[in-house]
Each structure stands twice: as structure tokens, then as C-alpha cells.
Structure 1
Amino acid sequence: MTLNRFVFKTHKWLAVATGLFTLLWFVSGVLMMLPSNLLGGGSAPNQPPAEGGYKDVTVTVPQAVATVEALMRMPLEIAAVELRRVNGRLTYALRTPKWGTFLVDAMDGRRVQITEEMARQMATRAMRGHAQIREVTLLRKHTLDYGALLPAYRIAFDDPGATLIYVSTETGQMGSSDRLGRLRGFVAGTHTFEFLKPLMSGKAIKLWLILFSIVGTAMSVFGFWILWIQWKNWLARRAGRAAGAI
């Protein structure tokens, strides 16, 4: 095989691969713009009726902070306080810069810990009895279908949509996805490359980007090489000489 033939074949197959990648990128971008109800999947499960209302809050923020400080046996710097519902009950989420987030029941002052049993209860409440729990997994690493706060329980249900509900062990926040929603997420990930973040470090992603940049540069150089050969052949044909082979 001549050098010119090698350059031509390499450029052709690089162009085919790049064209397919570009087509996938455009298609995934279009799918990202479609309404979520066309492709399925939500990010948060429907919440069932709550236990008690704001009138039933008897614990103040200072009392909640005191509960956590007594637990830790040290003063704590509280960066933010949020009143949210955890397993149907109003709960203070006390976020600290160093020790993460602590949950305190706003109605009885007890520390709230997200155990597997509580995660099961929360997920079952969210599904409102429409499906049974098939499997519970404690996630300690990000996966293709989950990239939020860790650790978290992933509760799989046996419904037709293969619903997964995620419960953060630290904050009690919930998320969910179904089969179509995960497919939509994967398609969107091929457009934004978000699916690479749970699987690869930032350094590895940069190395891949450098590799693709080198491939793109090589394809451009080979393309100019072929253009130069074609230009020489055109000049040769005009002059009545035999054109060189590619």
C-alpha cells in the first residue's frame, strides 16, 4: 500500500466515524428538547399526603441545633437550615460545612437517620402501593442512572416501568426514574457527556478529549494531503499528463 493510499483510507474511515458521532450528537440534542412526557421519566417521585402541618412544628431551629451539637458533643457551624418533609414528616435539614447534613424531626425533636427500613417506607409511600419492592441497593459510587449525593439507597420496584427510587442517606431527598426516563437520560448524556462523569475521573476525561482532538487534527491534515494530491492530478490532466494514483 502506498503512502497516499494509506492517507486516503485513514481519512475516509475517520470521516465515517466522525460523521456517525456528529449525527448521534445532533439526534440526541433534538431528543433533549422534546417534552419529558413524550419520553417518560421524572426526577422526583410524587409525594403522598403528609403527616401534620406547619402548625404542628413544636421544635425551634435553636433546639434542633442543640440536638445535633449534643449528638456531636461539640459546637457546630450551621451553614443553612431547611424545613422539608422526610417520610411525610416536617424535618429540619441542618447543613454544616464540615460534617455534612443532619436531620432533626421538627415535631418531636428526634434525630432522623435514613436507614434501609426508612428508605423502604419512603419509597413505598411514594409508589402508593402500586408496586412491590424487588431489590434494595446501597450506592456508594455514582452509576449511569444516578449521579447525585452519595451514599444513597436505590429501591427497585416490579412495576411495568421498572421504577427506581433513590433516597439519600444524608439528606433524605428522593429522586426517581423509570425505564424510558433512564433511556432519555442516556441519550441526553451522549449529547452532554454527563454519563462519563460517574465512570471516569476529570483527568481521564481530559485525556480522552485530547485524544479526540489529535484524531480530529489528523483527519484534517490527511484531508489537506488528499486535497493537495487531487490538485496535482487536476493540474496534470490539464497539462495532458497522466494523473497520479491515490
Structure 2
Amino acid sequence: MQLAFWVRRTHKWIGLVVGVQALLWMISGLYMVVVPLEVIHGDHLAHVATEPLKPAASRVGQGDLATLYPGITSVRLKNMLGKEVYEIKRGNDAALIDAASGKKISPLDRDTIKALAEEAYVGEGSVRGIEWVVKAPREIGARPLPLWAVHYEEFGDTTLYYSPHTGDLVARRHNLWRWFDFVWMLHIMDYQEREDVNNTLLRIASVTGLAFALSGAWLLLYSFKRRTRK
């Protein structure tokens, strides 16, 4: 009887502690199941068009490119706003080179970024502002800075982030993504970086939840035994 009393009391207090987090797990899990992942990623907001490359006699050769820019570790030819450009890398540094003239055209200016965003964006909003980002907001994580942020005036408060060195669209962010990021934080109980799914707090909550379940199962079996004896 004494053991049952303490198990029942322990079960009750563990339930009070774990119950709130269990509710948060269910709410956050429901959000992550209901909203498709491609919507969270913003694939429906911006499409990056890739036009096929055509032979060009006036294109600067890669040999000449290596002479102009020593130390190149990789080269990629691509289309950007209807013009062929080389994306070259030298170590961790990237740059864009006009494929016709061999001139460096990066970092890209505000007008070029706006044109890239208008080409990619398929939403219904209009550009509210373009920001040069040198201090990373939480929503872009550890992506290399600086970046251009193109903000749209629309219900979802969409922001497209572009690299000024490669012209690549590196992130799509909108309110559904921001809500996902918030509920993900609640789900994994990492309230700082929101990335560690093996953090100490989550382990403690999991062990406590297991103790709650086991004590409840013991009390259920105990009640059956009492009824049988009676």
C-alpha cells in the first residue's frame, strides 16, 4: 500500500511536469505534418530558371580565364539574366565573370539583384525593400555574409536572400517557415540554436516521460490485482 501511494503521487507530479511539454510536442508535430515541406521551403514562391547553354564563339576560354584570375579551383558556366557568366572559385571566395569580356561583375549591385528576384518570384506581392545584410538574422543560419535580402509586401512577408558573389538564391523565407522554425524549437527543446536534436533538456524530458508511462502502467496493473483480490 505504501509503495502504491508513492508511485501514485510520483505519477501525478510527473504528469504535471511532462503534460505541458507533451502538449507542445503534439501541437508542433501536427503543424509539421499538416504543412507540406515544399511549402515550408518556399518552393512555390520563387523558381530559379535554368536556360540551356549554347555554343558561343566569343566566349572567353577557360585557359584565358585561368590567366586572368590565377588560383582558380573551380569554374561553372551559367546563364544570368539572359547573359552567360562564369562562376569561379578561388578557395572559399567566389566571383562572377562576364563570359564575353572576361571582366569581373561581382559583387552584384542592388538593381541586378532586383532583376534576379523579379525573374524568380512567382508570388503576388511587390518589392517592399532591398537590404544589404551584414549581420545575419536567425532565419538564414550560418550562410556566408554579406547577402542581399529582397523583402516583399504580401501576406506571407516573403524575403528572398541572394548571394552578391554568385547571384544564387540561397534562401526563401516567409511566415509559414518562421512558424515552422518556432514549433521546431519547441519540438526538439533547443531554445538557442534550434538544431541540436540530442540536447540534454530533450533527453531529460524523454526519460521523465518514460517514467510517467511506466508508473502509470504499474498503477494500472496494481489496480487490476486489487480488484482480483477483492
Question: What TM-score do the two structures reach when normalised by structure 1?
Answer: 0.66
1:158 to 146, 153, 169: 153
Code of the residue aligned with 1:143 in structure 2: it is R
By how many angstroms is 1:83 displaced?
A: 0.7
Code of the residue aligned with 2:214 in structure 1: it is F
Q: How many residues align?
A: 220
By how many angstroms is 1:143 displaced?
A: 3.0
**Inter-partner Cα distance in structure 1 for 2:75 and 2:55:** 16
**2:126·2:152 contact (CA, 8 Å) conserved in 1?**
yes
Matches within 5 A, 1:77-116: 77-78=72-73, 80-96=74-90, 98-116=91-109
Code of the residue aligned with 2:100 in structure 1: it is M
Matches within 5 A, 1:220-231: 220-231=210-221
Distance 1:160 1:189, change over 3 A: closer
Check if 1:10 corresponds to 2:13: yes
1:143 to 131, 134, 138: 138
| Deviation by residue 1:48-82 (Cα, 9 ceiling, x = unmatched) | 99xx965364211122222222xxxxxx151x321
Distance 1:233 1:127, change over 3 A: closer
Check if 1:60 corresponds to 2:61: yes
| Residue in 2 that maps onto 1:214 | 204
| Deviation by residue 1:111-167 (Cα, 9 ceiling, x = unmatched) | 121244343443355569x83442414154363267655431111133565442221
SS of aligned partner of 1:200: coil
**2:48·2:120 contact (CA, 8 Å) conserved in 1?**
yes
What stretches of structure 2 of length at least 5 have no aligned partner? none
**1:102·1:171 contact (CA, 8 Å) conserved in 2?**
yes
Check if 1:123 corresponds to 2:117: yes
**Inter-partner Cα distance in structure 1 for 2:20 and 2:92:** 51
SS of aligned partner of 1:112: coil
Code of the residue aligned with 1:10 in structure 2: it is W
**Inter-partner Cα distance in structure 1 for 2:155 and 2:215:** 55
SS of aligned partner of 1:58: coil
Code of the residue aligned with 2:136 in structure 1: it is K
Code of the residue aligned with 1:173 in structure 2: it is D
**1:104·1:112 contact (CA, 8 Å) conserved in 2?**
yes
**Inter-partner Cα distance in structure 1 for 2:177 and 2:173:** 10
**1:45·1:176 contact (CA, 8 Å) conserved in 2?**
no
- The share of aligned pairs that are identical, in percent, is 15
Distance 1:65 1:27, change over 3 A: same
Code of the residue aligned with 2:126 in structure 1: it is A
By how many angstroms is 1:16 displaced?
A: 5.5
Code of the residue aligned with 1:155 in structure 2: it is V
Task: Flag as ranges the 4+ runs of structure 1 deviating above 6 A.
Answer: none
**1:48·1:88 contact (CA, 8 Å) conserved in 2?**
no
Check if 1:31 corresponds to 2:28: no
What stretches of structure 1 of length at least 5 have no aligned partner? 70-75, 241-246
**Inter-partner Cα distance in structure 2 for 1:210 and 1:148:** 26
| Residue in 2 that maps onto 1:73 | none
Code of the residue aligned with 1:239 in structure 2: it is R
Distance 1:157 1:221, change over 3 A: closer
**2:72·2:88 contact (CA, 8 Å) conserved in 1?**
no
By how many angstroms is 1:200 displaced?
A: 1.4
